[in-house]
Structure 1
């Protein structure tokens, strides 16, 4: 990635300064970088002091056995106590913790429910008592397979209260995917619902749990109990002695429960992410360091003022963003937030903007794939809503194209809101690289710099830092509090996956390799280019799919683009682009788009083929499945589509015609 790498999109001349009032009153200011640089451990100890500890730690960072680092060893705390009880004890029990909005809308309006911190404390205590009665004890694992309803968060916190690590599985995953996770972590209990709502229709969940239990039993693992929330009222199969209704077990339980303090390194949750071997990787996060960094970064990056802000992260709790920036970070900070069950365009395309207007949302955190889908619709729909309450916008999940960034800031933020483009991973547990809204002169498309207390760099194949204006591999050079501790049940895979590539001069553990390519621009600011697997080699030139996609999206006709490298007899690989047009764009514009890429980047990056498509194949978390597009471009047809949110998309793409853009 370091030779002949394009740098066109690093020449981004637009700059957005922090609003003066925000800068003057920011939670974190420029001196934080110097403070962290002078004494990193003291910096993180100060951040940890924002939490309530039952017993203070003996040592901030234990680096005696790298890469199995530990943080705040000797310290004890309870994550649920920090997220709920302490706010009630501080006199903030009447503060709304969750403005829940259901997807269904009736003549009486949207289904909704507000939970104060006092009410949340009672429900978490009841759920902890109920889980205990079902046999869950400290160290037992609980699988959660639920829609975006308050009971999902209540269950996570109840598990944390008991010291029972949870694994949350996205409600759109198959029974097989659920079973593999249940088996791998050895879940004793599964918490689910009869179903949830998706585009106005009930979508069943309990049948997948029943099937997953059967699959797990065939592999020798027994799920002892299934706790079921009645959400949709659908008929479900029932096994007495195993299945238990939430309203029978939880609603009748005592609201009195004393949380136990656990060691800072006690496992909090296992989050499964895709692995190259096909077997999902169970990323283990522990309690003290994770909660410290999740809470601190939420407070610093969103400049949270819990007394006045209303925060909304649109992620699902089945993903790490939902764990860190819906559950643990915001609730540890005493935030008031929106929790929405449904899709962004049901029953109207402006559903999100209506919610922002009605709930007076001030801090909004979403993914570039959602932003680009709204770009396709234009500005008329958001313009119908009062979005003036917004003061900070965030982006998460993948690099954001510069034009999508500018559209987001202009149309949704009214040209007054900073955009914090955050880079982090399931493995990092919390934000690592991001602008600070009261400090950073932001550039569209750049994650800018590591946050205070975080050390990152871009290195070449030998692990040497590259100069400004060059590209390479994104690495983290020192341990951080919210880092993964291992892969569940497989320490060697943890070493091989994340630490083996870049060792230090003595052959010991060196840098953490994130798997992403990145560049430093002339100012030294960081641009994340996506997974190194998505880099193409065209006539000896290493080209980033992200850069070519951003060049395409910068054309006024294009809402979204996906680029892959297809095997080519002449050039090794050829650039093939799949493009979604904005409303009103002409249908035949392939040559114009290809010429635009040539102008923006250079002849080497000009797509050999461009296909205009209605949608792109995406996983349920919104990531584009370029592998399927590459298979199609190379004539292999449509492969396995089971992980897609909508498997019919590939059939539509395969039925289309690709236009050659060669002169």
Structure 2
């Protein structure tokens, strides 16, 4: 029987989203969704007031679309700095409450209260000002998930500079391209980090990148490994914090740039998504409050990186709600797969963010249930890729005994949060994204922009939202081409989605991942969910390869569980399984066992890279890959199959 979450009286009465529903006089989540897009200005005004987001100068109008849907102005005339809302407020109201808790892979724990965090931010901000960094300058953060990353984020924002977060695993070329595009004046880095028990150098990577970045004037180095060396032209983090604190944040307007969040594409240079103080703050605060039900006294933990949008979202969203942010620096399965669960127990985590791939990895070791006490968990979060039912239901039904909702949401870097999101006050079917996120007027359409139900189509949005990117940094033409050129007047996100006959919403993958087999679109997730049923399969990736008869033929790549079974036997079984469950035309032409699939550090499988390995083409930007060597392994393994 398919699993469905049924909300308990506690969520229906005491959750943050239930409070919002009472304020708006609605009784169901779908009524709330409808109200949120009937008048977007009125809705976001209510959200600002409900969450206690205080503007230094009040706005005269919530949203102005006089320049068109692609160029909205939010919170017109208002002024606000995220430092005021996320730190100054709580440093005054709850100074001794934990703002940041950090655990290293080695088990060391550090804690910063709101008062301590605000003090360090004021010192770091003053230190940057003293070194010539001013409002409007771009400052990059090339750090692991440590308290210094949080301090740096708020310090940069507090002086009105722009935060440019970089993936902590980037190589020099990827770092340099983003620093040059952003016009960065400063970089805050660490000597390195520990991952899987090994020291991973970061400072040398940056130093190599800076050879081609003459515009960077200031480099600050955090001694994270304990043996960092600061060069003559560099500044020690400890020296920055020794600056006399400047407790007054820079006045910033609602539309001043807070964040340049870079996305990686398959071709071309990375895109810098532009996010503002008021827009990004309001959207991520609403995500964390209403979807993840965070409030003061609760702890938010998402295993992520500063280079993914979930890094800034976790920081600013958690503190906008007055919660505690738990950072974990390292691999969540070291020394074993129980590490994640022990982290929850040790720090009484209220909201735990996971990825489907991570759960598949934990489940693959034998379906054993965690021994840790997980009673503190109220919400499970998920994003980044589609679920398979077996892993979703193992987590929901077996690990958490049906008592915790999975808030599986989907959006993106340029969205500044989610397009689709379920809420703990509604029934949530297995693997479902629930429905449109609040304030998001999304739809699924066909190639002619007509609404679709019951079949796969493009995910679009009909109205703007506060955290909608204000453009691609220094490239307005690219912004319009990327999001507004396919369907006039509609934001096209590049995801294929499905609204089924029961009204459930599902993301089925990127448009360029979706395959056309004998004239029928099929998403990788549809096939991979079938493969996941087989006990031999730990995880899989399905791609389409040009075929003269079908248009595209399916190739399936799978990683096995520890108990090895004959590959040919499993391959035949998997073909038969897909033929039975989906249809004979969709049976994979090739079923290939591999040792690993290429992934990002946030555990997204890079299917485009797998396809490139098969076709012998350029896999594109792999700077965010955890294991780029997997591409060449697959390339060597499939040589001769085509």
What TM-score bracket applies, with the shorter chain setting the length? over 0.9
2:224 matched residue in structure 1: 231
- Quote the Cα distance in structure 1 between the aligned partners of 2:514 and 2:74: 35
Contact 1:137 1:162 in 2 (8 A): yes
Deviation (angstroms), 1:637 = 9.9
1:389 matched residue in structure 2: 376
Structure 2: unaligned runs, 5 residues or longer: 19-27
Matches within 5 A, 1:89-104: 89-90=92-93, 92-104=94-106
1:253 matched residue in structure 2: 243
Deviation (angstroms), 1:629 = 1.8
The 3-state SS of whatever aligns with 2:255 is coil
Deviation (angstroms), 1:451 = 2.1
Contact 1:611 1:659 in 2 (8 A): no
1:211 matched residue in structure 2: 208
- Quote the Cα distance in structure 1 between the aligned partners of 2:422 and 2:634: 37
1:456 matched residue in structure 2: 442
Does the C-alpha gap of structure 1 residues 637 and 211 become closer, same or farther in structure 2, counting only changes over 3 Å?
closer
1:609 aligns with 2:611: no
How many residue pairs get aligned? The number is 625
The 3-state SS of whatever aligns with 1:432 is strand
2:338 matched residue in structure 1: 350
Which stretch of the first structure deviates more once superposed, 588-597 or 175-184? Answer: 588-597
> Please, which of 60, 63, 66 is the counterpart of residue 61 of structure 1?
63
- Quote the Cα distance in structure 1 between the aligned partners of 2:277 and 2:88: 17
- Quote the Cα distance in structure 1 between the aligned partners of 2:615 and 2:547: 9
Which stretch of the first structure deviates more once superposed, 253-262 or 646-655? Answer: 646-655
- Quote the Cα distance in structure 1 between the aligned partners of 2:572 and 2:87: 57
> Please, which of 56, 81, 89 is the counterpart of residue 86 of structure 1?
89
Does the C-alpha gap of structure 1 residues 300 and 586 become closer, same or farther in structure 2, counting only changes over 3 Å?
same
1:318 matched residue in structure 2: 307
Matches within 5 A, 1:504-653: 510-584=489-563, 586-588=565-567, 589-634=570-615, 643-653=624-634
Matches within 5 A, 1:165-180: 165-180=162-177
Could you report, residue by residue, the CA deviation over 1:474-525 in whole angstroms, capped at 9, with x for unpaired residues? 001110111100000011111111011111xxxxxx1100001111100232
Deviation (angstroms), 1:641 = 5.6
- Quote the Cα distance in structure 2 between the aligned partners of 1:305 and 1:146: 27
1:186 aligns with 2:172: no
1:498 matched residue in structure 2: 483
Structure 1: unaligned runs, 5 residues or longer: 1-11, 105-109, 504-509
Contact 1:207 1:236 in 2 (8 A): no
Contact 1:577 1:610 in 2 (8 A): yes
- Quote the Cα distance in structure 1 between the aligned partners of 2:37 and 2:461: 15
Could you report, residue by residue, the CA deviation over 1:397-452 in whole angstroms, capped at 9, with x for unpaired residues? 122222221122134323211111101110110122111012x2111122121023
The 3-state SS of whatever aligns with 1:578 is strand
Contact 2:185 2:216 in 1 (8 A): yes
The 3-state SS of whatever aligns with 1:458 is strand
Contact 1:428 1:482 in 2 (8 A): yes
Contact 1:230 1:246 in 2 (8 A): yes
Deviation (angstroms), 1:651 = 4.3
Contact 2:444 2:498 in 1 (8 A): yes
The 3-state SS of whatever aligns with 2:627 is coil
Deviation (angstroms), 1:584 = 3.2
1:33 matched residue in structure 2: 33
1:77 matched residue in structure 2: 80
> Please, which of 143, 148, 151 is the counterpart of residue 151 of structure 1?
148
Which stretch of the first structure deviates more once superposed, 580-589 or 67-76? Answer: 580-589
1:117 matched residue in structure 2: 114
Matches within 5 A, 1:292-303: 292-303=282-293
Deviation (angstroms), 1:204 = 1.1
The 3-state SS of whatever aligns with 2:322 is coil
The 3-state SS of whatever aligns with 1:76 is coil
- Quote the Cα distance in structure 1 between the aligned partners of 2:424 and 2:360: 22
Q: After TM superposition, where is structure 1 displaced by more than 4 Å over at least 4 residues in a row?
A: 635-643, 654-660
- Quote the Cα distance in structure 1 between the aligned partners of 2:227 and 2:204: 11
Deviation (angstroms), 1:601 = 1.1
Could you report, residue by residue, the CA deviation over 1:9-65 in whole angstroms, capped at 9, with x for unpaired residues? xxx954221233222322213253354255331110111222121011011111011
Which stretch of the first structure deviates more once superposed, 336-345 or 635-644? Answer: 635-644
Does the C-alpha gap of structure 1 residues 370 and 631 become closer, same or farther in structure 2, counting only changes over 3 Å?
same
The 3-state SS of whatever aligns with 2:102 is strand
Could you report, residue by residue, the CA deviation over 1:622-647 in whole angstroms, capped at 9, with x for unpaired residues? 22222232233346698886553123
Deviation (angstroms), 1:352 = 1.1
Could you report, residue by residue, the CA deviation over 1:130-172 in whole angstroms, capped at 9, with x for unpaired residues? 1111111111110111111101110010011001001011110
Does the C-alpha gap of structure 1 residues 393 and 316 become closer, same or farther in structure 2, counting only changes over 3 Å?
same
2:25 matched residue in structure 1: none
Could you report, residue by residue, the CA deviation over 1:347-384 in whole angstroms, capped at 9, with x for unpaired residues? 2332111111111112111222212221212332x522
Could you report, residue by residue, the CA deviation over 1:200-243 in whole angstroms, capped at 9, with x for unpaired residues? 222111111111111123xxxx21110111111345472x2x21
Deviation (angstroms), 1:121 = 0.6
Deviation (angstroms), 1:310 = 1.8
- Quote the Cα distance in structure 1 between the aligned partners of 2:134 and 2:638: 58
Deviation (angstroms), 1:617 = 1.0
> Please, which of 351, 375, 391 is the counterpart of residue 404 of structure 1?
391
Contact 2:612 2:619 in 1 (8 A): yes
1:341 matched residue in structure 2: 329
1:243 aligns with 2:229: no
Could you report, residue by residue, the CA deviation over 1:173-209 in whole angstroms, capped at 9, with x for unpaired residues? 0111111111111111111111111112221111111
Deviation (angstroms), 1:659 = 13
Contact 1:448 1:526 in 2 (8 A): yes
Give the CA RMSD over aligned residues: 2.1
The 3-state SS of whatever aligns with 1:282 is strand
Contact 1:103 1:340 in 2 (8 A): yes
1:469 aligns with 2:464: no
Contact 1:515 1:531 in 2 (8 A): yes
Does the C-alpha gap of structure 1 residues 312 and 226 become closer, same or farther in structure 2, counting only changes over 3 Å?
same
Does the C-alpha gap of structure 1 residues 157 and 587 become closer, same or farther in structure 2, counting only changes over 3 Å?
farther
Does the C-alpha gap of structure 1 residues 123 and 532 become closer, same or farther in structure 2, counting only changes over 3 Å?
same
- Quote the Cα distance in structure 2 between the aligned partners of 1:395 and 1:441: 17
Q: TM-score, normalization: structure 2?
A: 0.93
Q: TM-score, normalization: structure 1?
A: 0.90
